[in-house]
Amino acid sequence: MISGLGFVRSRRAMLLAAVAALPLMLPAPLQAQAPAVTAPAAVATLPVFADLAERLIDAVVNISTARTITLGPADLPFQLGPEGNLPEGLGDLFGDNGAPMQQVQGVGSGFVIDASGIIVTNNHVIDEAEEIWATFHDGTRLAATLVGVDPLNDIAVLRVNPPRPLVAVSFGNSEMVRVGDWVMAIGNPFGLGGTVTAGILSARNRDLRAGPFDNFLQTDTAINQGNSGGPLFNLAGDVIGINTAIYSQSGANAGVAFAVPSETASRVVAQILEFGRPRRGQIGVRIQDVTPGIAEAFGITATRGALVAEVFGGTPAEAAGIRTGDIILSINGRIVDEMRDLPRFVSETDVGATVPVVVLRDGAEQTISVRIAEVAANQPAVAVVGDPVPEPAPLPEMSALALGLTLAPITPELRSEFEIVPALTEGVVVTAVTPSSLAAERGFQPGDIILRVGTTSDQAPITTAEDVDARLVAEVAAGRTVALLFVATPDGDTRFEWVRLQP
């Protein structure tokens, strides 16, 4: 279970001993040679966290929130009257409209990044809060106002008005921290403020499926509920992550915690301070994974990159000439190893910048210049096709019908029956899918429209079932073992599916 917010380490002393030569009866030449003495190997020592904690603890704050919620009948410890009226004498506990009310409080952590009073925390710590308070290590308690939030990266920026400059910390470079490096956290677990814990960086680039830009750092540092929004430090005292989630079946620390990397957080915070919101780039494509089957269909061995399933009209991708069926291999020099890399890379590119995008098209790499536009607030930079269905068993048949697809041209009657959008004027409609067939296993549904067969980007339009069969046969004649089908849903969303042509 991933929740939004002991670690026990033992040490064994190492015993080193030098063994002297025994006074054995040896030949004279050997007795004259003194045995070589090897110096003990250097013993690694644990870092001293006390000095680091003393220097940083005043920059970490406890965040407390309050909001009033309306209770339903099931939440009440008594029954309402037959007309929903309150028992006599309880009116003072309720709001002006007579609805039962209750104040809910929350706790979390945060840290000061500017001595004038700028604090960073998690969005989920202050979400829907009516009051926000920051309590410092010396007991000072200040009211906080919200500057801006980024729900997609779970980041919030607050402002307080301190009577004097605050102790502040800086973001470091999370890309420079290696797996196995020591890290330290300070926070407010279970409301116990000023708690210092330490551990190592356990892993990088974790995808928790919490949002489109997941790239979490993982640590075994003791992180618990209430640590949310607190800093994860390197040994130089720089913030390299914002603690945001734990994996636990009990709700307490299990040695697996996650932090938003500072490379992401620092950029988002700077944009919130400048614009009041995150300002992300977008290019206007829908993408999907390059699975082994899709890679085979394209005649490539590597399953890297992001396959363009749709190019949206009026977007930078359309203006630049990116096509459906292109595989995006890199953007602005950053290699797209997995599909999920692309949304993050695009979102982190400056709005208005023109950057090179390398695509694989018709078996050859091409470089296309794309100007990054701004995406709407709280929307992903790149749309992603749903999770792929499992790989099917091989099927040697070569026609659409053998694959389990019954096809027909788009007629007014079929357009009405399946509610096909007017923009879809080409292709053939799937009118039926044979149960347990390859097509059914691949997720085909009645109403899907097959627009293209094969990986060649320039093709004559498909208008009949015979067109589909002919192109499947042509794929076999070309020596391909897998064919790629470009498919649209009735509402116009597009995706690629692959089919096995022979075992």
Label residues 321-335 b or e (16+ Cβ within 10 Å = b): ebbbbbbbbbbbeee
d(CA 347, CA 500): 36
Q: What is the mean pLDDT of each run of 10 residues along the chain (503 residues)?
A: 41 30 39 52 73 94 83 50 49 49 75 96 91 93 94 93 95 93 93 91 83 82 91 95 84 84 92 88 89 87 89 89 93 89 86 92 91 70 49 50 86 91 91 82 88 80 86 78 87 86 55
Residue range(s) in the chain whose domain bears CATH number 2.30.42.10? 281-384, 400-500
397: alpha, beta or left? (left if phi > 0; alpha if psi -120 to 50): beta
Catalytic pick from 154, 326, 448, 467? 154
The overall longest dimension of the chain from CA atoms, in Å, is 113
Phi, psi of 476, rounded to the nearest 5 degrees: -65, -45
CA of 388: how far to CAs of 2, 289, 301, 310, 464, in Å?
23, 8, 19, 16, 27
Nearest one of 455, 497, 500, 468 to 481, comparing CA atoms = 500
Catalytic pick from 64, 124, 174, 266? 124
Label residues 110-137 b or e (16+ Cβ within 10 Å = b): bbbbbeebbbbbbbbbbeebeebbbbbb
Nearest one of 191, 217, 213 to 204, comparing CA atoms = 217
Nearest one of 152, 166, 68, 182 to 110, comparing CA atoms = 166
**What is the fold, at CATH topology level, of the domain defined by 400-500?**
Pdz3 Domain (2.30.42)
d(CA 475, CA 454): 7
Residue 137 appears among annotated catalytic residues = no
d(CA 128, CA 113): 23
> Residue 383: its pLDDT value, please?
59
Nearest one of 394, 398, 459, 468 to 431, comparing CA atoms = 468
**What is the fold, at CATH topology level, of the domain defined by 174-275?**
Thrombin, subunit H (2.40.10)
Please, where are the H alpha helices in 32-113? 50-56
> What pTM value is reported for the model?
0.62
Element (H, E) at 270: helix 262-275
In this predicted model, what pLDDT tens digit does every residue of 172-218 receive, in sequence order?
A: 999 999 999 999 999 999 888 889 999 999 998 887 766 667 789 99
Say whether 204 sits in a helix, a strand or coil: strand
- Kindly give, in sequence order, each residue whose CB lies less than 8 Å from that of residue 370, ignoring residues fewer than 6 positions away: 283, 316, 317, 320, 322, 331, 354, 355, 356, 357
> Residue 236: its pLDDT value, please?
94
> Which segments within 52-161 are labelled E, that is strand?
60-70, 101-114, 118-121, 131-135, 141-143, 145-150, 155-159
Structure tokens at 302: 């590597």
Structure tokens at 129: 């809060």
> Residue 51: its pLDDT value, please?
92
Residue 493 appears among annotated catalytic residues = no
Structure tokens at 185: 């956290």
CATH class in words for 281-384: mainly beta
> Residue 101: its pLDDT value, please?
56
Structure tokens at 102: 């209750």
**DSSP labels for 10-33?**
---PPP--PPPPP-----HHHHTS
Separation of CA 34 from chain center? 63
CB 317 within 8 A of CB 326: no
Label residues 444-469 b or e (16+ Cβ within 10 Å = b): beebbbbbbbbbeeeeeebeebebbb
Residue range(s) in the chain whose domain bears CATH number 2.40.10.10? 174-275
CA of 111: how far to CAs of 177, 222, 278, 368, in Å?
20, 18, 19, 42
Q: What is the DSSP letter of 493?
A: -
> Which segments within 136-247 are labelled E, that is strand?
141-143, 145-150, 155-159, 182-187, 195-206, 216-219, 231-233, 239-247
Nearest one of 88, 205, 80, 63 to 145, comparing CA atoms = 63
**Chain position carrying tokens 């390299």:** 240
Element (H, E) at 412: helix 412-418
Nearest one of 361, 223, 253 to 298, comparing CA atoms = 361
Residue 92 appears among annotated catalytic residues = no
> Residue 19: its pLDDT value, please?
27
Catalytic pick from 64, 109, 228, 437? 228
CB 472 within 8 A of CB 399: yes
Structure tokens at 417: 């029956």
| Helix, strand, coil percentages in the chain from 3-state DSSP, rounded to 5 | 20, 30, 50
